[in-house]
Structures are given as C-alpha cells and as structure tokens.
C-alpha cells in the first residue's frame, strides 16, 4: 500500500504546484462606490482617531515612533486578518503595485478574501461560544463558526448578527445562530447563568460572574439581582427536539423553572428563574417582542456605549495583539459623557457607520498608530511606559499558535495558500495546523491575554514534522524553488528574509549567509538554504508581531 500511496502523493503534489503556478493573480477591488467610500468616509474616520491620539501625545509631551515600512504593515495586516504572513506571490504583487493608497486597497482586498471571513469568525466565536465542542447532539460549533464566516463575507452589520444570535429560534443545524443558546446546554439542562455571564462578557465587555453569588466587589453598579435579572432574559428558552424556541406561559403564577443542585448529595430540585431585568437603560427595552428579542434590542441599543466599546476593544486587540483596555471581557464602566477615550472615538464612528466591521477594521488599519514602528528611541522607563500606553509605538506581542503555524505553512509555499489552492494543499494545511496547535497549546478564549513563551513550544518549532517538511528542499517547497530560480546567492538570502520577515536582511545578516552559500555544490547549497529557513523560522522575530 505504501508503495502505491507515496508515488500518488507525489503526483498530487506536482499537480497542486502546477495548478497554483498557473493561477492568475487575484485582482484588487475597483468598485467605484467602494473607492469613493474610502476616499471620503474612511479617510475621515481614520483622521478622527489620529487627531485624538496626537492630542494625547502633545499633552504628554511624547514623540511617536517613526513610520513603519509598508511591507511591515502588510505583514501586520495579513497576520491580524488571516492568521498568516503574506505569501511571496502577494509580496511581489504588492511591490509592483505603484498606485496610490496601496495599503488601504490591500486591506480591502484581504477583507474580501475568504481567509479573512474564516479566520475572524473563529476569533469571534471564541468569545461567543468558547472553544469546547459541547454536546454534539444539540450543539454544532462548526455550524456556528461557518454561519459567522458567512455573515462576515456578506458584511452583515454587527448589531444584526448579535440580535440574531441572542433571539434566534429553530434547530441548531438549520438555524446556526441558535448554537449561541445551545452552547450553554449541559447534562440536558440549559444553563441560564452561563448565558447571562457570556452575554455580559462578549457583548458588553464586562465580567459579572461573581455577581451570581454576591454584589460585584469592584463595581458598585452591579448587584447580585442584576445578574439574576440577566439570567432571567433566557428564562423562557426551551431547547427541545425541534430546536430552540420560546416557551408560552399562561397564568399570573406561571414561571419558567430551572434545575438546581442544593449540594452534591441531594437530588436536583427545581426553582423559579428570576424575572428578566436589565441593570441599566431600562427605557432602551422595546415594548413588543419576545423576552429575548427585547433583550437583544437592549444590548444593541444605540445609547448602549458598552456594546460598541466591547467590540471595538476586541477588534483593536486582534489588530494590534493588545487591546485598548485589558482584559477585554472585564472592562470598567465607560467614562463620563463629554470625556471620551479612544474606545468612545472608535465606538461612536462604528455606530455612525452602521456597525460595519469592515469599516472599523479599515479605520484601525489606516490609523497612524497601526503604521508606526515597533521600536522607539526613548530610553527612560517612565517615558517608554507612556509611549506604549498612548499607542505612540506599535506594541510587540507574541503571535498566537494558529498564526505561528499558519505562517510556517505559508512561508513554505511560493503561492498563496487559500481557498483557491488545490485540495491536496488545503488538506495538508488543515491537518498540520490541528496537530501543531494541539501540541503547542491552544489559548482558548483568553487569546488576547499576555503570553509567555515556553521551552516545549520552542522545541516544537525547532523539531516538529511541520518545520522539517517546511524547510525541505524539493520541487514543491519554497526553499527548493528559490534555490533554483534565484539568479544569485544574494537573491536567495534576500528572498528568504522577505518571505519570513517581510523585509530585506541587514548587511551583517546577508554577509553571514552569503559566506555559507559561497563556492558550495548544488546539493550543499540546498542544505544551506534549508538551514537558512530553519534559522529564520526559529528566530524571535518570526514569532512576534513586529
């Protein structure tokens, strides 16, 4: 069997390579309406963010870092929007793009790519339903993530997405948004408290879990009865064989009930679910609709600043690697009216543009803060702290596990690995990513927390099958192809650095590898190129979002 399978895989690989090689470059967006929107509204939104930050810098007496090279910014865009470094194919296209505003146009290009929808859907799903598979009979996480991805592809307004998740009815397979509700089912019972806590964290950016047992110790505005009231918003939900639906109650004393264990030795007893109550903004509740429809309208109300601040903080964190306010799911109350902070500036613009996630991402990526260098000349610790706090320098953060493996896989291919790649290539990426992340360690729904690297993680990058396959010099791999197609040794080194770091090597770096490539045979040169890629993959620069 192995004798048959090995040649077959080689043939499939060659076919995949040939297919990728003849694929035409993907075009940039040329819709006049889109171009007009960028020229006007987007530029105005980015300027509003810039003006706010520049005013802070002036007040603090800070000078921002220098502007980053555009290739470095492209790397940040690809990592934050698709979880991978740009391909050599994309880098060459970007270098040849001499039209104005190419970064803005490439941001839009990435936002219209299926890789963005799939990647960002997974990132958002972690805050909405967590990472666990749950009870497969009534919860389909994959269906929920696929639904989210489709909403992102269609550019569905964010508030509309949340209303559908909270208030949806139907079978979890046919109505994928209802998996937000069924994700809280455990042992056959719907955990209303879990839905209340998750709604507050994901949609309002506030952790109220502790208020389940007592008043919030740090927020005087959140009482134990507030948590109970939020749990009551889901009190009439029933998960049955035909799907999620709202129970019909009749009679003045009729109340939905939930299971409760008094202690480990007693049987489960039923107790009434509290009445649905909101902790603030009572007048935001509409008069008509089901309990969940009213709650969804309250969450997404235009005056609910917490709603817009929570998602802008999360998206900022996904773009920069660090949120404006940390942690993203336990933010303080908004500042008083008339004293806006950066999240208010972003949130107001987000609301005014119809809760358009693409517009929010374009605004952040077009801001001056996103395009600054990740190094700053300041040496005083207090000044450096102020520079980082006011976003006068791009923050250095470790890449998440899926970004590291995604970048290694993409760097091993000359062409872009995406939805247009051959099935063989996509299958390879899927299996390698899953295996690598399982060993490397998944960050779960706390992926925006500050990370520390571990020795086992470093050893995995050095010695894993993924790394060995990625650096192998053959007719399909990047190392094999650039060793054969580059005109000289200098081009080999320059291309390797471009693929891995999106920059050219410094003179000492170039000289170091040129000395190793000089005067060697073809077979030995292939080995040196393999070592070059291994060294770049395992360097600190490769695994940070510089």
**Residue 351 and residue 308 in contact, taking contact as beta carbons nearer than 8 Å:** yes
Q: Does one domain contain both 119 and 242?
A: yes
Q: Which of 271, 299, 327 is the last residue of a domain?
A: 299
Report d(CA 484, CA 487) in Å as an integer: 8
Check the CA dihedral 450-394-410-22 and report its sign.
Answer: positive
Report d(CA 50, CA 38) in Å as an integer: 16
In a domain, 419, yes or no: yes
Q: Which helix (H) or strand (E) holds 240?
A: strand 237-240
In a domain, 194, yes or no: yes
Q: Does one domain contain both 25 and 165?
A: no
**Residue 83 and residue 403 in contact, taking contact as beta carbons nearer than 8 Å:** yes
Q: Which of 299, 322, 339 is the last residue of a domain?
A: 299
Give the bridge partners for 237, in sequence order: 246
- Buried b / exposed e across 204-241, counting CB within 10 Å, b at 16+? bbbbbbbbeeeebeebeebbeebbbbbbbbbbbbebee
Q: Does one domain contain both 271 and 167?
A: yes
Indicate left, alpha or beta for 187 from its phi (over 0: left) and psi (-120 to 50: alpha). Answer: left
Gyration radius from the chain CA atoms: 26
Q: Does one domain contain both 11 and 141?
A: no
Contacts of 297 (CB under 8 A, 6+ apart): 163, 284, 285, 286, 289
In a domain, 98, yes or no: no
Q: pLDDT per position in the chain (546 positions), as tens?
A: 445 544 444 444 444 444 333 344 344 444 444 444 455 688 899 999 999 999 999 999 999 999 999 999 999 999 999 999 999 999 999 999 998 899 999 999 999 999 999 999 999 999 999 988 888 888 999 999 999 999 999 999 999 999 999 999 999 989 999 999 999 998 888 999 999 999 999 999 998 866 555 455 555 566 678 888 899 999 899 898 888 988 865 444 445 555 444 444 444 445 677 889 999 999 999 999 999 999 999 999 999 999 999 999 999 999 999 999 999 999 989 999 889 999 999 999 999 999 999 999 999 999 999 999 999 998 888 888 999 999 999 999 999 999 999 999 999 988 888 888 877 778 777 788 788 888 888 877 778 877 777 888 888 889 888 888 888 888 778 888 887 788 889 999 999 999 999 999 999 999 999 999 988 888 888 899 999 999 999 999 999 998
In a domain, 198, yes or no: yes
- The DSSP-derived string for 295-314 is HHHHHT-TT-HHHHHHHHHH
Report d(CA 539, CA 530) in Å as an integer: 14
Q: Does one domain contain both 144 and 242?
A: yes
Q: Does one domain contain both 263 and 410?
A: no
Q: Does one domain contain both 119 and 237?
A: yes
Question: The domain containing residue 440 runs over which residues?
Answer: 1-30+397-546
Q: Does one domain contain both 23 and 156?
A: no
pTM of the model: 0.88
In a domain, 368, yes or no: no
Token code pair at residue 275: 């009445």
Q: Does one domain contain both 133 and 13?
A: no
Q: Does one domain contain both 18 and 122?
A: no
Q: Measured in whole angstroms, how far is the alpha carbon of residue 51 from the centre of its chain?
A: 26
In a domain, 93, yes or no: no
- Buried b / exposed e across 102-119, counting CB within 10 Å, b at 16+? bbbbbbbbbbbbebbbbb
Give the bridge partners for 260, in sequence order: 269
- Number of domain units in the chain: 2
Q: Which of 299, 317, 348 is the last residue of a domain?
A: 299
In a domain, 432, yes or no: yes
In a domain, 358, yes or no: no
């Amino acid at each position: 069997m192995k004798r048959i399978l090995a040649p077959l895989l080689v043939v499939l690989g060659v076919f995949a390579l040939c297919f990728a090689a003849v694929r035409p470059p993907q075009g940039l967006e040329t819709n006049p309406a889109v171009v007009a929107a960028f020229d006007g509204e987007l530029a105005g939104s980015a300027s509003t963010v810039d003006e706010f930050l520049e005013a802070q810098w002036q007040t603090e007496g800070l000078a921002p870092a220098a502007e980053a090279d555009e290739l470095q910014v492209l790397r940040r865009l690809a990592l934050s929007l698709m979880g991978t470094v740009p391909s050599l194919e994309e880098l060459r296209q970007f270098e040849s793009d001499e039209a104005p505003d190419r970064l803005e146009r490439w941001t839009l290009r990435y936002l219209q790519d299926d890789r963005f929808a799939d990647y960002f859907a997974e990132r958002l799903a972690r805050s909405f339903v967590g990472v666990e598979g749950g009870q497969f009979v009534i919860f389909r996480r994959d269906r929920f993530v696929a639904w989210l991805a489709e909403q992102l592809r269609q550019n569905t307004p964010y508030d509309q997405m949340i209303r559908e998740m909270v208030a949806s009815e139907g079978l979890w397979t046919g109505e994928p948004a209802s998996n937000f509700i069924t994700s809280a089912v455990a042992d056959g019972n719907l955990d209303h408290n879990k839905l209340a806590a998750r709604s507050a964290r994901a949609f309002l950016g506030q952790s109220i879990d502790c208020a389940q047992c007592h008043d919030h110790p740090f927020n005087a505005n959140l009482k134990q009865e507030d948590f109970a009231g939020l749990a009551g918003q889901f009190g009439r939900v029933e998960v049955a064989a035909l799907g999620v639906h709202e129970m019909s109650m009749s009679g003045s004393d009729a109340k939905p009930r939930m299971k409760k264990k008094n202690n480990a030795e007693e049987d489960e007893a039923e107790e009434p679910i509290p009445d649905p109550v909101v902790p603030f903004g009572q007048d935001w509740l509409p008069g008509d609709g089901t309990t969940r429809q009213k709650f969804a309208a309250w969450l997404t109300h235009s005056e609910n600043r917490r709603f817009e601040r929570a998602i802008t903080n999360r998206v900022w964190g996904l773009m920069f690697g660090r949120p404006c306010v940390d942690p993203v799911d336990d933010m303080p109350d908004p500042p008083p009216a008339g004293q806006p902070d950066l999240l208010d500036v972003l949130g107001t613009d987000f609301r005014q543009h119809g809760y358009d996630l693409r517009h929010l991402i374009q605004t952040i990526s077009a801001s001056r803060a996103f395009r600054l260098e990740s190094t700053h000349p300041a040496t005083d610790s207090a000044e450096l702290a102020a520079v980082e706090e006011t976003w006068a320098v791009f923050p250095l953060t470790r890449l998440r596990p899926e970004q590291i493996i995604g970048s290694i896989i993409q760097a091993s291919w000359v062409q872009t690995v995406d939805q247009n790649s051959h099935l063989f290539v996509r299958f390879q990426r899927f299996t390698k990513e899953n295996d690598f992340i399982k060993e490397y360690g998944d960050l779960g729904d706390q992926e925006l927390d500050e990370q520390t690297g571990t020795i086992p993680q470093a050893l995995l990058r050095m010695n894993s099958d993924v790394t060995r396959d990625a650096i192998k010099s053959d007719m399909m791999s990047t190392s094999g192809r650039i060793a054969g197609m580059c005109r000289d040794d200098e081009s080999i080194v320059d291309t390797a650095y471009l693929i891995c770091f999106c920059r050219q090597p410094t003179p000492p770096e170039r000289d170091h590898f040129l000395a190793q490539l000089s005067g060697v045979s073809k077979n030995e040169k292939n080995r040196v190129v393999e070592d070059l890629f291994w060294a770049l993959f395992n360097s600190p620069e490769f695994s940070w979002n510089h």
